[in-house]
A and B are shown apart, each in its own frame.
Chain A
Amino acid sequence: MTSDTTPLWEFADISKAYPGVLANDKVCIKLMKGSIHGLLGENGCGKSTMIKTLSGVQQPDSGRILYNGKAVQISDPLAARDLGIATVFQEFSIVPTLSVGENIFLGNMPRSRLGAIDWRKVNSESARVLKEMDVNIHPEAITGDLSVGEQQLVEIAKAVAMDASMIILDEPTAALGEEEIEQLHQLLRNMRRRGTAILYVSHRLDEVERIVDEVTILRGGRVVSAAGETEINVSEIVSAMVGGDVGEHYPKENNATDDVVLRASGLRTKAGVSDATFDLRKGEVLGLGGVLGSGRTEIARALFGVDTLTEGSVELGGSPVKFRNEMDAIKAGMALVPENRKTDGLFFNFRASGNITAASLAEISKLGILDLLTEADGTERLIDELEISAQAEAKTVNFLSGGNQQKIVIARWLFADAQVLILDEPTQGIDIGAKIAVYKLMNTLTRAGKSIILISSDHDELLAMSDRVAVVQHGAIKKIVAAKELSHDDLVRASADNIEHVSKEQLAS
């Protein structure tokens, strides 16, 4: 029946409308056996809608789905599973309180003849899958205790365990460090060799370039470039995604001066910072490079007073400071833009104004009464200046795109006039246009004499947007070099050195 030219899965003319929006307009995608297919586009282009349709979460309004050339219906997620479709969603669907093995076989537990769960099989099968994936996680470990990266691998192990013929990965590397990404890619290559069709959705175009065989690009709910029409390189993809020339991808301005704003010496915390010494200059962007779990976030926490210093000292503006908590740090002019803006950054019950002034309530109030005019003026000015959506003040911020949300979190610290900003993965999960806007915002900040500590797992971004890069390993800063003198490979190698469980082979591939 099937030949090499019959796609394993064919999605033809899939349309889906939500109230007010036609999210997918006659989208066609063909997935071939043993091929990694990139599905790309800016936020709101209809990718998520497509993924929901493919995984049976929702039904398309029209269109045909063919499996091996035969029409099928993916009526619900269970049907998707029976058809061999596994989806790894951006938001994890693992249960943190269950063991790794239980998660891998969730909803599909091997049973003994009496109908009881066959625990021995759960654990042995899980161990087999994890071994096959070359992942060093114990099947009986509690999933919630694992690192985010490891949890992501468990998520993928679920797909491997069900022997999926098609696996959909939605932003699979958002939470992963470089070596884990490489490990994942190796895994995907293995699956490809075995004939699995893989749909790979990611904002990290450098990664896409490395791993995918063909791309489909969506814009405004339509396919603007079908497989084979666009060459797989970053600039071609970007212009297809945004529908024109975006100009400079990394519009870096050099605003660094020689004045030291912040000096950290020999920082050590119980949370895993072992030896961090560096200085930060006025107008500078200092990048913290390193693999996930190397201690970058922990250094940020130590600076911000979240974790107590057991050793070392911090000087801010020439005088020693000791922060007992976040409140002290904020009063002194520090700011932390957290990695996860949804859980740690935004107030979804507020509009733009409430979010922007949240860190400055004392400054905009007299005798405890808020000056709402100052708030409104400041908000309006920042919405204008940062080109935040005009809708931002009309509705609560949950209605805004990720890019607009991130701008609002950063606007909060502009309003508060913070002098040192720690940006933890500031462009994670936002589209290319919004990323460039965030980069420009970083320029605005440094131009105004503010200093930035940038934590990013996107090495291209880290190298392009930092003035200097500090390489972090095991909670210690190993060296600090000018970003210009560092290449992507240097950074990977420097930060991955000494990590025992990564074989040289994986790094080289």
Chain B
Amino acid sequence: MKRIFDAQLIGPFAAMVIVTLIVAMTTDRFLNPGNLSNLFLQVSIVALIAIGATVVIFAAGIDLSSGSMVALLTMILAQMLKFMGLPLIFALPLILVVGALLGLGLGLITAYGRIPSFITTLAALIAFRGLALTFNNGSPIFSLDPGLEPIFYGKLAGIPLPFFYLLTFYGLAAFTMNFTKLGREIYAVGGNPAAAVLTGINVRKVQAITFAIAGFMTAVGAVLMSARLNSGSPNYGQTLELQAIAAAVVGGASLAGGRGNILATFMGAMTIVIVQNGLNLNAAPSSVQNIVLGLIILLAVGIDMWRAELSSLLSSVFGKSASVKGG
């Protein structure tokens, strides 16, 4: 367990706690139970998609496609449920497979076609949104299935279901990253692809798999998005990819690859959502929310980049003198 809960969690955890304290002190409605459970509902979709975004970042890639892919997948799901009459029990696994395959496709193009993932997923960001518009003449599809909404709004032992999805998927992701061959290979590929090749790691395969994971998690997010509104729409998921990446970055994942802790991404997502929630409760306009989100990202990366300087500043403040020692 020491492996999962390591020092990389301290910073993001502290950030989350500080933000929570500030919001709780300035907003009295923040701590009431209704708001807190609403918080989980709010964070669930972006936090789940952020798992995939983070895994891709660990392997030194970037996935910009998830927002548009959510729109596309909700439209495909709507099509299957509403017009093809597919039962929910078949449609759901199918949409997860479609998501994983779309991701895998992007991964294969990136890894084997040697096109930077920034480009392949940027192309997908644009094309998937367009593809979503080809369904139902580009109009949203409503009232899909009576069984859909409980997936998002249902409760187990009084706790909203999305809490359990988060627990399950973050648990799986933490296990994969820390205790499996695949997880180690992802960190290795992100840390030094040239060295990974020379140690016999199938770098391209690993890269492709990370995008398949991202596609799968995006599909999970898309199902929840559909369930939340019992609909599919080509306009869903705008900027969701950026929020997912922001969660990873606020959680301390290095965009250069190889470094970060998947659980910290959850804290990153929580931090962002808590700030948004606080601003919402204080009736701040969405323009302000975006500005604040931008500042949070800058601050999170800044603190990471200036860590050495900050720690030497701290130690000089607390008067630790440099010991004399030959190098």
B-binding residues in A (CB < 8 A): 17-23, 25, 44-46, 49, 219-222, 326-327, 329-331, 336, 338, 343-350, 354, 358-359, 361-362, 365, 368-370, 372, 412
B185, B198, B202: the one within 8 Å of A336 (CB): B198
Given contacts A326-B200, A349-B191, is CB(A19)–CB(B181) below 8 Å?
no
Given contacts A20-B325, A347-B258, A358-B199, 19 further A-B contacts (CB under 8 A): A18-B322, A219-B326, A222-B326, A326-B200, A327-B202, A330-B199, A338-B198, A343-B192, A343-B195, A344-B192, A346-B192, A346-B195, A349-B187, A349-B192, A349-B258, A350-B187, A362-B181, A365-B181, A372-B3
Given contacts A220-B326, A327-B200, A327-B202, is CB(A343)–CB(B194) below 8 Å?
yes
Residues of A within 8 A of B319 (CB): none
Contact present for B325 and A354 (CB under 8 Å): no
Given contacts A17-B322, A21-B322, A354-B187, is CB(A368)–CB(B198) below 8 Å?
no
Contact present for A412 and B326 (CB under 8 Å): no
- Could you jot down 27 A-B contacts, CB within 8 Å? A19-B312, A23-B327, A45-B327, A46-B327, A220-B326, A221-B326, A326-B197, A326-B198, A326-B200, A327-B200, A327-B201, A327-B202, A330-B200, A336-B198, A344-B198, A346-B195, A347-B188, A348-B192, A349-B192, A350-B187, A350-B188, A358-B188, A358-B195, A358-B196, A362-B181, A368-B181, A370-B179
Interface residues of B in 155-204 (CB under 8 A from A): 179-182, 184-185, 187-188, 190-192, 194-202
Cα of A23 to Cα of B322 in the assembled complex, Å:
11
Q: Does B287 contact A (CB under 8 A)?
A: no
Task: Considering the complex, give the chain A residue whose CB is closest to the CB of B311.
Answer: A19
Given contacts A21-B325, A21-B327, is CB(A361)–CB(B195) below 8 Å?
no
Among A23, A49, A326, A347, the one with the most B-chain Cβ atoms within 10 Å of its Cβ is: A347
Residues of B within 8 A of A338 (CB): 195, 198
Residues of A within 8 A of B192 (CB): 343-344, 346-349
Residues of B within 8 A of A329 (CB): 200
Is chain A's binding surface mostly helix, strand, loop or mixed? Answer: mixed
Range of interface residues on chain B?
A: 20 to 34
Contact present for A359 and B327 (CB under 8 Å): no
Among A19, A329, A362, A368, the one with the most B-chain Cβ atoms within 10 Å of its Cβ is: A19
Contact present for A354 and B188 (CB under 8 Å): yes
Cα of A365 to Cα of B197 in the assembled complex, Å:
19
Contact present for A361 and B327 (CB under 8 Å): no
Contact present for A220 and B322 (CB under 8 Å): no
Contact present for A354 and B184 (CB under 8 Å): yes
Cα of A372 to Cα of B4 in the assembled complex, Å:
13
Cα of A345 to Cα of B187 in the assembled complex, Å:
15
B3, B184, B315, B327: the one within 8 Å of A19 (CB): B315
Q: Does B324 contact A (CB under 8 A)?
A: yes
Residues of A within 8 A of B188 (CB): 347, 350, 354, 358
Given contacts A19-B312, A365-B180, is CB(A347)–CB(B194) below 8 Å?
no
Cα of A44 to Cα of B192 in the assembled complex, Å:
25
Contact present for B191 and A350 (CB under 8 Å): yes
Cα of A240 to Cα of B323 in the assembled complex, Å:
25
Contact present for B185 and A220 (CB under 8 Å): no
Smallest Cβ distance from A364 to chain B, in angstroms?
8
Cα of A369 to Cα of B229 in the assembled complex, Å:
39
Contact present for B180 and A368 (CB under 8 Å): yes
A-binding residues in B (CB < 8 A): 3, 179-182, 184-185, 187-188, 190-192, 194-202, 258-259, 312, 315, 322-327
Contact present for A412 and B194 (CB under 8 Å): no
Given contacts A21-B322, A331-B200, is CB(A349)–CB(B190) below 8 Å?
yes
Contact present for A372 and B179 (CB under 8 Å): yes
Contact present for B191 and A369 (CB under 8 Å): no
Smallest Cβ distance from A430 to chain B, in angstroms?
15
Residues of B within 8 A of A222 (CB): 326
Task: Considering the complex, give the chain B residue whose CB is closest to the CB of A327.
Answer: B200
Residues of B within 8 A of A350 (CB): 187-188, 191
Cα of A344 to Cα of B196 in the assembled complex, Å:
8
Residues of A within 8 A of B327 (CB): 21, 23, 44-46, 49, 220-221
Cα of A359 to Cα of B191 in the assembled complex, Å:
15
Contact present for A20 and B195 (CB under 8 Å): no
Contact present for A349 and B181 (CB under 8 Å): no
Smallest Cβ distance from A504 to chain B, in angstroms?
40
Contact present for A20 and B184 (CB under 8 Å): no
Cα of A21 to Cα of B181 in the assembled complex, Å:
39
Cα of A20 to Cα of B311 in the assembled complex, Å:
13
Cα of A365 to Cα of B185 in the assembled complex, Å:
12
Cα of A265 to Cα of B164 in the assembled complex, Å:
62
Cα of A348 to Cα of B196 in the assembled complex, Å:
12
Residues of A within 8 A of B325 (CB): 20-22
Residues of A within 8 A of B202 (CB): 327
Cα of A412 to Cα of B200 in the assembled complex, Å:
12
Residues of A within 8 A of B258 (CB): 347-349
Cα of A343 to Cα of B198 in the assembled complex, Å:
11
Smallest Cβ distance from B48 to chain A, in angstroms?
23
B179, B185, B196, B312: the one within 8 Å of A369 (CB): B179
Cα of A45 to Cα of B322 in the assembled complex, Å:
17
Smallest Cβ distance from A61 to chain B, in angstroms?
10
Cα of A343 to Cα of B312 in the assembled complex, Å:
28
Cα of A25 to Cα of B324 in the assembled complex, Å:
10
Contact present for B323 and A20 (CB under 8 Å): yes
Cα of A453 to Cα of B324 in the assembled complex, Å:
43
B179, B199, B259: the one within 8 Å of A349 (CB): B259
Given contacts A326-B200, A348-B192, is CB(A370)–CB(B184) below 8 Å?
yes
Cα of A350 to Cα of B199 in the assembled complex, Å:
14
Residues of A within 8 A of B185 (CB): 361
Smallest Cβ distance from B178 to chain A, in angstroms?
9
Cα of A365 to Cα of B182 in the assembled complex, Å:
10
Task: Considering the complex, give the chain B residue whose CB is closest to the CB of A331.
Answer: B200
Contact present for B199 and A412 (CB under 8 Å): yes
Smallest Cβ distance from B324 to chain A, in angstroms?
5
Among A23, A44, A348, A349, the one with the most B-chain Cβ atoms within 10 Å of its Cβ is: A349
Cα of A122 to Cα of B324 in the assembled complex, Å:
48
Residues of A within 8 A of B194 (CB): 343-344
Cα of A6 to Cα of B173 in the assembled complex, Å:
68
Residues of B within 8 A of A361 (CB): 181, 184-185, 201
Smallest Cβ distance from A101 to chain B, in angstroms?
31
